[in-house]
Amino acid sequence: MSQYAHLRQLQGRVGAWSRDNFGQEEVDPLNCWLGIQEELAELSAALGDDDRKDAIADALIFLCDYLTRTGEHLDLLVVLAGAKPDGIECYSPVSITARLNQVLGMGAKHLLKYRQGIRGDSGGHWAKHREALGQFWNECDRYCAKQWGCTAYWLANEVFSNVVSKRNWKANPATGVATA
């Protein structure tokens, strides 16, 4: 079993929950992308560690859903992106928000060029888009390790298992709280 199998398992659990709540075909993957961006906005406004943890975990959960809906595999992208030894060390809430926006912005740039079919071959743009997504996860992983002594996987898995997976948006579209 791959040392990254836990990432694929988390992605599978998130994907199954999302399909149950939002359907298979009804969700444009770009909705998930917008969810990542929404969580980065929450991260930038977070006042404490609990809010920062929640925003990062939710962004990673949206990333898992996005990858599932685009047919990509988180474990492969994390390996593809690899550790960037020359990466910027982002240990303050302001610097990590800026860095994650930068990485996500590069991913968006290449997704846009891929969708538009301009400035190079589409395969090259898709590859750079994929690399940015893996890098996004890796940047979160480094931040979690430095700030809280945990991995991005642990944080995302905890929030997904204890909070997000318990939501049922079909049963209660207003709050997601399942009715008894």
Domain borders along the chain are 5-166
Residue 113 has pLDDT above 90, yes or no: yes
pLDDT per position as a tens digit, 88-97: 566 677 788 8
Share of the chain above pLDDT 90, in %: 66
How many whole angstroms separate alpha carbon 145 and alpha carbon 177?
Answer: 31
Residue 1 has pLDDT above 50, yes or no: no
How many whole angstroms separate alpha carbon 107 and alpha carbon 156?
Answer: 21
How many whole angstroms separate alpha carbon 136 and alpha carbon 26?
Answer: 26
pLDDT-based confidence at residue 3 (cuts at 50, 70, 90): low
pLDDT per position as a tens digit, 18-61: 999 998 777 789 899 999 999 999 999 999 999 999 999 999 99
pTM listed for this prediction: 0.90
